[in-house]
Structure 1
Amino acid sequence: MEIEITTVGGYEEVGRQMTAVRMDDDIVIFDMGLNLSQVLIHDNVQTERMHSLDLIDMGAIPDDRVMSELDGEIKAIVPTHGHLDHIGAIPKLAHRYDAPVVATPFTIELVREQIRDEDKFDVQNDLQVMNAGETMRIGDKTEMEFVNVTHSTIDAINPVLHTPEGAIVYGLDKRIDHNPVLGDPFDMKRFREIGREGEGVLCYLEDCTNANRKGRTPSESVARKELHDTMLSLEDYDGGMVATTFASHIARVSSLLEFAQEIGRKPILLGRSMEKYTGTATHLDVDLPDDIEMYGHRRAIDQSLNRIMKDGKENFLPIVTGHQGEPRALLTRMGRGETNYDFDNGDKVIFSAGIIPEPTNEGNRYQSERLLKMQGARIYDDIHVSGHLSQEGHYQMLDALQPKELIPAHQNLKGLSGYVDTANSFGYEVGRDLHISRNGNILQLTE
């Protein structure tokens, strides 16, 4: 079988992921993502109304024009999970391909909402649900399997293409969590089996977000314990308290909802993405507290903040968008004094989120925290564990899969250096079986 991999996007930065694997005449696309930081640096950009070519020129979505060089039929578009850097370009690009979008239930519902919000293109691709542990045929010779992984959102998988030449494992994004707060544990057993079945693993593509970070990424249960300890320490504070986290991080949102009630505060989710992600999870019967209050529209948010101030902010925990300091997010607007929520000296703001390692995010987050501090807020920072493997996790995956070829992704050259070092310890060499690719490259694996 002739196999080639096209590294369309996400191989020079964190974001706008897209990869195509061609196996003879059959092609599978993994991810179609958005680089949100390239949007945030522009004022009042509404991606829903923009043409794909304009977004490509901005560096916001993958430049998929390289796909015209591939000779074959697109069989499936497969987003690995529901983060925007993996699904955000589907409304802009998927209509170009006569293929279904295949993903887990939570991810499919988020894709459906992305398509529903699209104003420029008419996206008619079929949306097909497939669960972790299930398989589907790709042409006559290949089978695709979904392997359960753990990440900072639920329902994440790593797809595996089982070909006559060996398995191709698309390893974005994950951490090894054997004790997750929601969902099933990381399926390391299955990865070890794949590494030793048939022809073994021909190629492994890996997320290198934290490849320069030593040690092991902790379980989400560790973040939950730290968050619990922090909030219990503030139980007697008789003033305002606000929390922020990734709206897509359903496990973290669940912990915030639970602990708010434990310390006698009513949690309210505020912000469009908070309503979208948590609302989708509740519709899929994810195990969340009952009777969640959540508001996404500006008028409803303003009414909720008015109620909080009227009834006493010591009785509430607003859980809001803005963990990266996004200029138009609610927490940033609160910091600028653009809402009816008033901070008093000593009020608490809990950032249960790390900063995505990208200059725009780092600058926005710094500005947001400075604005909040100027109003007297006390910052509780980085109560979080990452959703990505650190160096020892990468070591474990290489030991489990023992791939013949490696393609690192999801970072710039500097960010890939730690992965190169880890791979070198297994005997891989750059230019031989460790391929440092760029956006738009086509790599021939077998002929």
Structure 2
Amino acid sequence: MEIEIATIGGYEEVGRQMTAVRAGNDIVIFDMGLNLSQVLIHDNVETERMHSLDLIDMGAIPDDRIMSDLEGDVKAIVPTHGHLDHIGAISKLAHRYDAPVVATPFTIELVKQQIEGEQKFGVENDLVKMSGGESMTIGDHGVELEFVHVTHSIIDAINPVLHTPEGAIVYGLDKRMDHSPVIQDPIDMKRFREIGREDNGVLCYIEDCTNANKKGRTPSENVAREHLRDVLYSMEDYDGGIVATTFSSHISRVTSLVEFAKDIGRQPVLLGRSMEKYSGTAERLDFVDFPSDLGMFGHRKSVDRTFKRIMNEGKENFLPVVTGHQGEPRAMLTRMARGETPYELDDGDKVVFSARVIPEPTNEGQRYQAERLLGMQGARVYDEIHVSGHLCQEGHYEMLDALQPRHIIPAHQDLKGFSGYVDLASNQGYQMGRDIHVTRNGNLISIVD
């Protein structure tokens, strides 16, 4: 069976992931993501109102024109998890393909919300739920799609595996090896080891290289949880304002913030549109059980009313958890730093960043500006209370040992970011140009002719 892989997006940058695998006449697309930094550098861009071609020209979503070079029919569109760099282009591109979107329940719900907010295209693809550990048949030629449960900085994440007569294609974006996660089960390494040793083994492994230049292993989410506990408990006797920010989609971290706020005698409240969206969805689908009195407010007027209540009743009684950890211009924390909300920051107030800066110039610049503005108001910043959602080098070694793939395609980075992964794969006997395929956006790689 001919196996061909189209590397469409995410092979020259962190963002706008999209890869297509052709097995015979059956094609499966993995991810359709947004490159948020390409949107943020333009003022007041509303992507939901824009045409896909304009977003492609902007570099914000994948240029999927190479799909016309693949001879076959798209059978499924498979996002690995609910981050925007993996689902943010579905509402712009999925309608071009007569295929269902297949994803885990939490991811499907987020995709549904993306589609409902779309104002340019009518997206009528079926939405099919499949959980980690489950499989489905693709086409009529012995191809099967399997979801393997993984741990990441968002719940309900999977690595999809396409089983073909020539061997398995493992799409390894995004994960960390967490054996003691705060929410859900540990990563299913047992299944990865089985896949590496059954039938024809692993033909090709497509791997996220975000942290491939970092030595050691990525710590568990429980490490970040204990760090956060230590920081917030140290503030128990502080009688001023405490504000926290993290990734809105990081439900495990939000859960810890809510719990520790209660422990130190403060009422947590979640503020910002995306904070309300992700946490509200997780609670509705029973992934979490938040306290009944937890407030979630996304609309601007509701948020400002909540800030007025906090100022009236005393900042020392509340812990607002807000959007804006990357310094996004319109996010809640940035507005607070500019003095554009009723919440007044005073000398000595604490701002806890339970997140890291995404290593991209636009984000780094915006975050620097936000921190300077906070400092000008007297706030004290607690930085990097976080662990990554991506594998460091030891995790990559472990995955190569588990899967023993015959071919490797580095992804989710630029050429510089691929270098660490190429080095460690070379240490394991792989070779550039033979079985390590470093590629760019818009290329086709023939794995089996």
| TM-score under structure 1 length normalisation | 1.00
Secondary structure of the structure 2 residue equivalent to 1:121: coil
Aligned twin of 1:427 = 429
Are positions 1:230 and 2:231 aligned together? Answer: yes
Measure the CA separation in 2 of the matches of 1:293 and 1:113.
21
Measure the CA separation in 2 of the matches of 1:68 and 1:202.
24
Cα offsets for 1:127-149 (capped at 9, x unmatched): 00000000000112111100000
Measure the CA separation in 2 of the matches of 1:349 and 1:270.
15
Measure the CA separation in 1 of the matches of 2:243 and 2:232.
11
Identity %: 74
Q: Give, as a single letter, the amino acid of the residue that structure 2 aligns with 1:115.
A: I
Cα offsets for 1:343-392 (capped at 9, x unmatched): 11000000000111111111111111010000000000000000000011
Asked whether the 8 Å contact 2:274–2:323 carries over to 1, the reply is yes
Q: Give, as a single letter, the amino acid of the residue that structure 2 aligns with 1:307.
A: R
Aligned twin of 2:128 = 128
Secondary structure of the structure 1 residue equivalent to 2:37: helix
Q: Give, as a single letter, the amino acid of the residue that structure 1 aligns with 2:207.
A: E
- Which residue of 311, 314, 318 maps to 1:312? 314
Asked whether the 8 Å contact 2:283–2:290 carries over to 1, the reply is no
Aligned twin of 1:114 = 114
Are positions 1:212 and 2:190 aligned together? Answer: no
Asked whether the 8 Å contact 2:212–2:418 carries over to 1, the reply is yes
Give matches, 1:10-409, under 5 Å.
10-140=10-140, 141-291=142-292, 292-409=294-411
Q: Give, as a single letter, the amino acid of the residue that structure 1 aligns with 2:74.
A: I
Secondary structure of the structure 1 residue equivalent to 2:12: coil
Cα offsets for 1:274-296 (capped at 9, x unmatched): 00000100110112322221000
Q: Give, as a single letter, the amino acid of the residue that structure 2 aligns with 1:395.
A: Y
User: Structure 1 residue 69: deviation in Å?
Assistant: 1.2
Measure the CA separation in 2 of the matches of 1:98 and 1:189.
34
Q: Give, as a single letter, the amino acid of the residue that structure 2 aligns with 1:152.
A: S
Q: Give, as a single letter, the amino acid of the residue that structure 2 aligns with 1:192.
A: R
Q: Give, as a single letter, the amino acid of the residue that structure 1 aligns with 2:128.
A: Q
Q: Give, as a single letter, the amino acid of the residue that structure 1 aligns with 2:204.
A: C
User: Structure 1 residue 157: deviation in Å?
Assistant: 0.1
| Bigger mean CA deviation after superposition, 64-73 or 399-408 | 64-73
Secondary structure of the structure 2 residue equivalent to 1:253: helix
| TM-score under structure 2 length normalisation | 0.99
Secondary structure of the structure 2 residue equivalent to 1:194: helix
Secondary structure of the structure 2 residue equivalent to 1:243: strand
Secondary structure of the structure 1 residue equivalent to 2:210: coil
List structure 1 segments (4+ residues) > 6 angstroms apart after TM superposition: none
User: Structure 1 residue 313: deviation in Å?
Assistant: 0.6
Measure the CA separation in 2 of the matches of 1:53 and 1:136.
33
Equivalent residues, number: 447
Measure the CA separation in 1 of the matches of 2:5 and 2:291.
45
User: Structure 1 residue 156: deviation in Å?
Assistant: 0.2
Measure the CA separation in 2 of the matches of 1:389 and 1:352.
19
Secondary structure of the structure 2 residue equivalent to 1:434: coil
Secondary structure of the structure 2 residue equivalent to 1:16: coil
Secondary structure of the structure 1 residue equivalent to 2:76: strand
Q: Give, as a single letter, the amino acid of the residue that structure 2 aligns with 1:243.
A: A
Q: Which runs of 5+ in 2 are unaligned?
A: none
Measure the CA separation in 2 of the matches of 1:378 and 1:293.
25
Q: Give, as a single letter, the amino acid of the residue that structure 1 aligns with 2:298.
A: G
Measure the CA separation in 2 of the matches of 1:425 and 1:434.
12
Q: Give, as a single letter, the amino acid of the residue that structure 2 aligns with 1:145.
A: E
Q: Give, as a single letter, the amino acid of the residue that structure 1 aligns with 2:244.
A: A
Measure the CA separation in 2 of the matches of 1:102 and 1:346.
48
Cα offsets for 1:104-129 (capped at 9, x unmatched): 00000000000000000000000000
| Bigger mean CA deviation after superposition, 65-74 or 105-114 | 65-74
Asked whether the 8 Å contact 2:358–2:364 carries over to 1, the reply is yes
Q: Which runs of 5+ in 1 are unaligned?
A: none
Secondary structure of the structure 2 residue equivalent to 1:54: helix
User: Structure 1 residue 68: deviation in Å?
Assistant: 1.1
Measure the CA separation in 2 of the matches of 1:362 and 1:73.
41
